[in-house]
Structure 1
Amino acid sequence: MAINVLNLRRLITPENLQPLAAPLLIIMILSMMVLPLPVFLLDVFFTFNIAVSVMVMLVAMYSRKPLDFSVFPTVLLVTTLLRLSLNVASTRVVLLEGHSGPDAAGKVIEAFGHFLVGGNTAVGIVVFIILTLINFVVITKGAGRIAEVSARFTLDAMPGKQMAIDADLNAGLIDEKTAKARRKEIANEADFYGAMDGASKFVRGDAVAGILILVINILGGLFVGVIQHQMEVGDAAHTYTLLTIGDGLVAQIPSLIISVAAGLVVSRVGDDEGDIGAQVISQIFANPQVMALTAGIIGVLGLIPGMPNFVFILLAAGFGYLAWRGYKKQEAGSKEAKPAAAKAAAAAAAAAQPQAEVQEASWNDVAPVDVLGLEVGYRLIPMVDKGQDGELLKRIRGLRKKFAQEVGFLAAPVHIRDNLELKPNAYRIALKGVEIGGGEAYPGQFLAINPGRVSGPLNGRETKDPAFGLPAFWIDGGTREQAHALGYTVVDASTVVATHLNHLILNHAAELLGRQETQALMDHIGKESPKLIEDLVPKQLPVSTVQRVLQNLLEEGVNIRDMRTIIEVLAEHAPRVQDPIELTARVREALGRAIIQSLFPGNAEVQVMALEPGLERILMQAMSAGSEGGAIEPGLADTLLRQTAQIAQRQEDIGLPPVLLVPAQLRTLLSRFLRRSVPSLKVISNAEVPESRIIRVTSVVGGAA
């Protein structure tokens, strides 16, 4: 027996009972509809209902964003069901015991029927109707409308938000785990507003049910009191009406509180300034000029004869005090800022003074050129200032890490400095001291990028996405949700600069792979496969040749992550071949599966462009003549460039990568010849396509020549 009791104690724990709480609560609520309750339990449950409603409203006020209270639609259903069950239980007691006195249904109903309305049935009915109208017509209807519009806008904005997440993921600004969490949050937000739109109907139905229950209880009480208990009509009407009004008020007031909580949840905008109280104080009472003007207007009204002068003057004095406090805080802030500005000016003046004695030049004056540099105007300095926790610094570190993981080597760090010669919001990206890109960014604003299928324009500064040249608008934070709803991809200023930098780094990956990076890569591989590196470098190939092969691969968008395969192929062919171009072709054939996989993921058909047989023969003859393109007739070269560009554009329009399949002998020639005119074109050889992949030619280049 002791063992059984011990096992029972182990089973009955808070952790084991927690999943049973919700089912037990629902069963208890439903039981109140059919089982008679003692008067004392009615008082307990009515008090509990009031306490729950107040608690729900406080949780709604202190939630920073709607999803912090995502269970609210369910809570709304349960509290509504609890109120209706209490109405049924109290109606049973009122009709059965109402003839015995005003406390027949418990002290709570008696208090609401006598104290709140003074025992006056007419006042009680009016107050009940007014509370019901406030709840039903004003608060519930408004909250339901907000939830409906929010759900619609959230659903419309989902594609744009998903694209923004994908853009951040592709740029290396977030990892896959963070992207999944953001996608889940977007889906939960849409589900929440949709649920709130439906849950608001519970409260509206509860208000209608309250009115019907009031009428039914009054009529039922008259019938029971006069017919069954032989009461006078006036006494029965007074007694049962007061009990019914008390019952209605004790249910309607918690309903009103819950409706206010629903309105607070769905009307919440932003989640960066704390709870609702903090937002109200910071946005309404923080401006001393507003407080001073309000004090002046109220004070003038208080001087008008016949007005309640004392009340108006008192309030004017209160607002005046708040204005005085606000001005004092502003003055204190400006005094703290002046010494800092004075120190900065003194430092600048000291730096501007000529040196008393000019030092002799030395090698320390020869500064090496940064491999990668980012220069920013003075308004962008907070984005890259470590002391101000600049967001762009974190994103650049993430970019560099993602570049190493995807491309296969560690690029040089990005050196960031301010440049007062640039425009305040401008930035410039340099490679080995030469500008390769630039643009403008506006901290605190967002870039709404048109991906090609938006449903309307935006009010903002029209521009173009600096990375890809897409049409875009710089917008304020208040227009962000509207931009999402119209289908724009919205990103902040730090993401704009980081995405542009990432795009340029990927396009210039070959130039970032210098001799030092190549040697560091060889050393890294040598830690795992020392014999492989020793046999190749420098016994068979110098580091410069390995570097040139790797650069050839990077120039055509082939990553070098599979260094083991690359080194093995070079070691195999190095005794017979020393030409970097020929070695690159051998490496590409070995990496063919990975190259094709990056262009055509999965096992999909390899849908490519091909050369017309006659054009292919002409180009083969030019190659056999020992020329690398110089023997191509100029008119034919122009036709080849023009047709390739047109067909490549058609491939992209139908969602296919522009890939040209040619014989191995022509691949290097055509890749170099076409790269400048059609940057997005990838030229692959027949030898690079795995035998397991199916090739389908979608277009022919040179057919009309």
Structure 2
Amino acid sequence: MKKIVGKNIVTVFVILAVFLIVIPLPTWLLDLLFAVNIALSVYILLTTMYIKESLEFSIFPSLLLITTVFRLGLNISSTRSILMNKGYAGEIVKAFGTFVMGGNAVVGFIVFILITVVQMVVITKGAERVAEVTARFTLDAMPGKQMAIDADLNQGIIDDKEAKRRRDKVQRESDFFGAMDGAAKFVKGDATFSIVAAIVNLLGGAVMGLVFGGMDFSTVLSTYSIATVGDGLCSQIPSLLISISMGMIVTRAASEESLNSDVIGQFTSQPRVPFIAGLVMFVMGFIPGFPTLTLFVLGGALIALGVGLSRSMKTEEQEAEEQGAKEMAENQDAISEMEYYKDIDNVYKLLNVEPIEMEFGYSLIPLADESAGGTFIERVVIFRKQFAIDMGMVFPSIRMRDNQHINPNQYVIKIKGETVAEGEILMDHYLALDSGNVTREVDGIDTIEPAFNIPAKWISEENKLRAEIAGYTLIDPTSVMITHLSEVIKNHAHELLSRQDVKTMLDKLKETNPSIVEDIVPNVVPVAYLQKELCMLLKENVPIRDLQTILETLADNQHNMKDLDITNEYVRQALKRTITRRFSDGGQIRVITLDTETENKIVSSVKKSEQGSYLAMDPQSIQALIASLNAQIEKIKDVVPSPIVLTSPIVRIYFKKLVDQFIPNVTVLSFNEIDNTVQIQAVGNISI
């Protein structure tokens, strides 16, 4: 029974609130419901002050309607009681009217009118305008936010669950502020109705008292003015609290703390402010006619607050400096540098080469410092997981260090000790990319996106909303670096796969399928040979996760193992489902083909030697072939951003080696590497 009541309590409350309009209530019940109304309004106001973002109180638009209906029902019930009971509608109404009026009907009505005007003109109208603007901006920014989520998902920065959660949040924000835009009209209408109810109470009560009650005019005025003001305040005060709650929730920015914590923290962050304000109060105290003592007390309190805050901040700074000095002292080596390197083993340590390194300018250090709230390391961990799933390889740990010799906003990526990429980041800015739907230009600093070398702009925080509305895709500085790093690792994965990594992969496979590892490695396929094969696959962006199939294919073609290129082709054909999934889109694959004459020309130019086969084509034919390929890529670049060339199996390896010398990012596949479930669409043709 309790569960049934708990699940339907809101439904019962709404129905009872509607019935209040037509069912007469005793005065004791009116007192109870007025108290509930006030308590509920205070509860809602406090909730809006303690939430961190608006979506934490997403039921507010519906709650606004429910409380409005409840107040209207109470207002009508109290009006009925006033007219039928000679101006008596319960003790709460009487107490409100008597307290506010203080024996003067004119003062009471003026206070009531002022409260009503403040609610309608100042609070409700302002909150309504904020809700309207926020709803429009939130709706306009939805496409940009969705594109940013898709970009993070495609880069492996987030997984499907996180992407779904972010999309749901964007949709909920749009729905919430759209609902708030309309729900604001409820409070405005409620305030209007309270004025009408007050007029009805006063005029109707006067008629009832003079005509049917036999009262004299002064008694009627005293009785019904108290009831009118008391009833109006019983409705207007909860309505005012709800209006403040509405204004609070539509102006609430996302934060890590509640409103109370933010206000205290930000008001006490500048010690000079209360000190100067206290001096101003002291100066005002010397003006003739001003309350000197009051101003001096207030000024002294503000100055004392400023001094206390200043001392507190100095103490915190001293503690931080002492902690830093203590850590530095602990890290200093007692042995001098010369003494240290007298040990030859310490000199050998200088020869170690890290597989992957990142160096940061001092301005970018907070992005990688977890103690300062940086999320770069966390994002690297997420990318390592996604890369392992996609490519079947776990790349090594990344050595991160600061570098005082580079630009403060610069970072450098090194592979095996040598710089392979670098970029610059502007902190407190967003990288804006043209999504193709930009409606207008937004002021920013022109730059080049470091991962894909496309034009972009650095947009400041104050122009962020304008850029989103204009259609730009905005990327935060950490995402820019992680995207660049991910592309570098993808392009150099074949250099990072060591024999120790291959040994670890074999050990993992041995746990689930020991027979295939024991039979093939190292008797048929040595670890070094397997490493070269895997590196060749990674170099052409082919996943190596299916290690079992790779080993079985190498074992089946052991008679061709002298020519690594030939065995690589057999392995690729065995992985055709993986290759098809990797390069197809929506059940089809768009390719550029080679005409028959060009393929025959390549085959006739292949020469064999003891070390293997190689392509010996004359320079004029090579130049014509590359020119034709460039023309086809330029023609289809808007349709196929990542070009794929489809050739016959015998031609693929030679054509790929030739193209890599001139256009390294072209994918070359053979017919035997594409699964028959995929539709092949030729969008270009290469001919000499």
Relative to the length of structure 1, the TM-score reads 0.90
1:645 to 602, 612, 630: 630
Shift of 1:305: 1.4
- Range moving further from structure 2, 604-613 or 44-53: 604-613
**Preserved contact between residue 45 and residue 242 of structure 2 (Cα < 8 Å):** yes
1:96-495 → structure 2 map (5 Å cutoff): 96-98=84-86, 102=87, 104-233=88-217, 235-272=219-256, 274-340=257-323, 342-343=325-326, 355=338, 359-362=342-345, 365-366=348-349, 367-385=351-369, 390-442=374-426, 445-495=429-479
In structure 2, what is the equivalent of residue 72 of structure 1?
A: 60
What is the CA–CA distance in structure 1 between the aligned matches of 2:91 and 2:370, rounded to whole Å?
64
- Range moving further from structure 2, 662-671 or 40-49: 662-671
In structure 1, what is the equivalent of residue 555 of structure 2?
A: 571
* Partner amino acid, structure 2, of 1:54: V
1:624-703 → structure 2 map (5 Å cutoff): 628-634=614-620, 636-654=621-639, 657-702=642-687
- Range moving further from structure 2, 672-681 or 320-329: 672-681
In structure 2, what is the equivalent of residue 56 of structure 1?
A: 44
* Partner amino acid, structure 2, of 1:376: F
- Range moving further from structure 2, 41-50 or 617-626: 617-626
Shift of 1:327: 1.4
Shift of 1:28: 0.9
* Partner amino acid, structure 1, of 2:646: L
Against the structure 1 CA distance between its residues 504 and 129, is the aligned structure 2 distance closer, same or farther, given a 3 Å change threshold?
same
- Range moving further from structure 2, 532-541 or 358-367: 358-367
Shift of 1:22: 0.8
Unaligned 5+ runs, structure 2 = none
What is the CA–CA distance in structure 1 between the aligned matches of 2:340 and 2:503, rounded to whole Å?
43
**Preserved contact between residue 113 and residue 119 of structure 1 (Cα < 8 Å):** no
* Partner amino acid, structure 2, of 1:150: T
- Range moving further from structure 2, 689-698 or 67-76: 689-698
What is the CA–CA distance in structure 2 between the aligned matches of 1:607 and 1:36, rounded to whole Å?
76
Against the structure 1 CA distance between its residues 573 and 699, is the aligned structure 2 distance closer, same or farther, given a 3 Å change threshold?
same
Shift of 1:344: 6.6
In structure 2, what is the equivalent of residue 608 of structure 1?
A: 591
Against the structure 1 CA distance between its residues 16 and 573, is the aligned structure 2 distance closer, same or farther, given a 3 Å change threshold?
same
What is the CA–CA distance in structure 1 between the aligned matches of 2:661 and 2:112, rounded to whole Å?
79
**Preserved contact between residue 425 and residue 442 of structure 1 (Cα < 8 Å):** yes
* Partner amino acid, structure 2, of 1:688: E
**Could you list the per-position Cα deviations for residues 325-384 of structure 1 after superposition, in whole angstroms to 9, with x for gaps in the alignment?**
111112212322343455577689978966468615347524321111122233333443
Query: Tell me, what secondary structure is at the counterpart of 1:116?
Result: helix
**Preserved contact between residue 77 and residue 199 of structure 1 (Cα < 8 Å):** yes
In structure 2, what is the equivalent of residue 528 of structure 1?
A: 512
What is the CA–CA distance in structure 2 between the aligned matches of 1:188 and 1:541, rounded to whole Å?
56
Against the structure 1 CA distance between its residues 354 and 370, is the aligned structure 2 distance closer, same or farther, given a 3 Å change threshold?
closer
Query: Tell me, what secondary structure is at the counterpart of 1:33?
Result: coil
Against the structure 1 CA distance between its residues 31 and 173, is the aligned structure 2 distance closer, same or farther, given a 3 Å change threshold?
same
**Could you list the per-position Cα deviations for residues 273-305 of structure 1 after superposition, in whole angstroms to 9, with x for gaps in the alignment?**
x11122112222331111122112222122111
In structure 2, what is the equivalent of residue 511 of structure 1?
A: 495
Query: Tell me, what secondary structure is at the counterpart of 2:102?
Result: coil
1:74-93 → structure 2 map (5 Å cutoff): 74-93=62-81
**Preserved contact between residue 661 and residue 686 of structure 1 (Cα < 8 Å):** yes
In structure 2, what is the equivalent of residue 585 of structure 1?
A: 569
* Partner amino acid, structure 2, of 1:97: N
Query: Tell me, what secondary structure is at the counterpart of 1:545?
Result: helix
Shift of 1:628: 4.1
What is the CA–CA distance in structure 1 between the aligned matches of 2:40 and 2:624, rounded to whole Å?
78
**Could you list the per-position Cα deviations for residues 653-690 of structure 1 after superposition, in whole angstroms to 9, with x for gaps in the alignment?**
12564222211122112222223544443221122222
**Could you list the per-position Cα deviations for residues 95-128 of structure 1 after superposition, in whole angstroms to 9, with x for gaps in the alignment?**
1112xxx5x1111111122211224332233222
**Preserved contact between residue 599 and residue 657 of structure 1 (Cα < 8 Å):** no
Shift of 1:415: 1.7
Shift of 1:89: 0.6
Shift of 1:608: 2.0
* Partner amino acid, structure 1, of 2:239: S
**Could you list the per-position Cα deviations for residues 407-463 of structure 1 after superposition, in whole angstroms to 9, with x for gaps in the alignment?**
112222212223232233322111111111122335555444444433444455543
- Range moving further from structure 2, 527-536 or 109-118: 527-536
What is the CA–CA distance in structure 2 between the aligned matches of 1:318 and 1:459, rounded to whole Å?
45
**Preserved contact between residue 101 and residue 226 of structure 2 (Cα < 8 Å):** no
What is the CA–CA distance in structure 1 between the aligned matches of 2:261 and 2:66, rounded to whole Å?
30
Shift of 1:649: 4.1
* Partner amino acid, structure 2, of 1:665: I
Query: Tell me, what secondary structure is at the counterpart of 2:550?
Result: helix
Shift of 1:139: 0.9
**Preserved contact between residue 543 and residue 578 of structure 2 (Cα < 8 Å):** no
Query: Tell me, what secondary structure is at the counterpart of 2:559?
Result: coil
* Partner amino acid, structure 2, of 1:301: M
What is the CA–CA distance in structure 2 between the aligned matches of 1:129 and 1:666, rounded to whole Å?
90
* Partner amino acid, structure 1, of 2:164: K
Relative to the length of structure 2, the TM-score reads 0.92
What is the CA–CA distance in structure 1 between the aligned matches of 2:456 and 2:592, rounded to whole Å?
33
**Could you list the per-position Cα deviations for residues 36-66 of structure 1 after superposition, in whole angstroms to 9, with x for gaps in the alignment?**
1001101111111111111110111111111
What is the CA–CA distance in structure 1 between the aligned matches of 2:22 and 2:459, rounded to whole Å?
59
Query: Tell me, what secondary structure is at the counterpart of 1:424?
Result: coil
What is the CA–CA distance in structure 1 between the aligned matches of 2:637 and 2:66, rounded to whole Å?
54
Against the structure 1 CA distance between its residues 590 and 353, is the aligned structure 2 distance closer, same or farther, given a 3 Å change threshold?
closer
What is the CA–CA distance in structure 1 between the aligned matches of 2:416 and 2:427, rounded to whole Å?
27
**Preserved contact between residue 494 and residue 535 of structure 2 (Cα < 8 Å):** yes
**Preserved contact between residue 608 and residue 695 of structure 1 (Cα < 8 Å):** yes
What is the CA–CA distance in structure 2 between the aligned matches of 1:342 and 1:528, rounded to whole Å?
53
- Range moving further from structure 2, 133-142 or 51-60: 133-142
Shift of 1:638: 3.0
What is the CA–CA distance in structure 2 between the aligned matches of 1:546 and 1:312, rounded to whole Å?
85
Unaligned 5+ runs, structure 1 = 1-11
Q: Please tell me the root mean square deviation across aligned C-alpha atoms, in Å.
A: 2.7
* Partner amino acid, structure 2, of 1:311: T
**Could you list the per-position Cα deviations for residues 60-79 of structure 1 after superposition, in whole angstroms to 9, with x for gaps in the alignment?**
11111111111111111111
**Preserved contact between residue 651 and residue 657 of structure 1 (Cα < 8 Å):** no
What is the CA–CA distance in structure 1 between the aligned matches of 2:339 and 2:346, rounded to whole Å?
21
What is the CA–CA distance in structure 2 between the aligned matches of 1:689 and 1:506, rounded to whole Å?
22
* Partner amino acid, structure 2, of 1:337: A
Shift of 1:210: 1.5
* Partner amino acid, structure 2, of 1:317: G
Number of equivalences: 684
* Partner amino acid, structure 2, of 1:630: A
**Could you list the per-position Cα deviations for residues 122-159 of structure 1 after superposition, in whole angstroms to 9, with x for gaps in the alignment?**
22332222222211111111112111222222222223
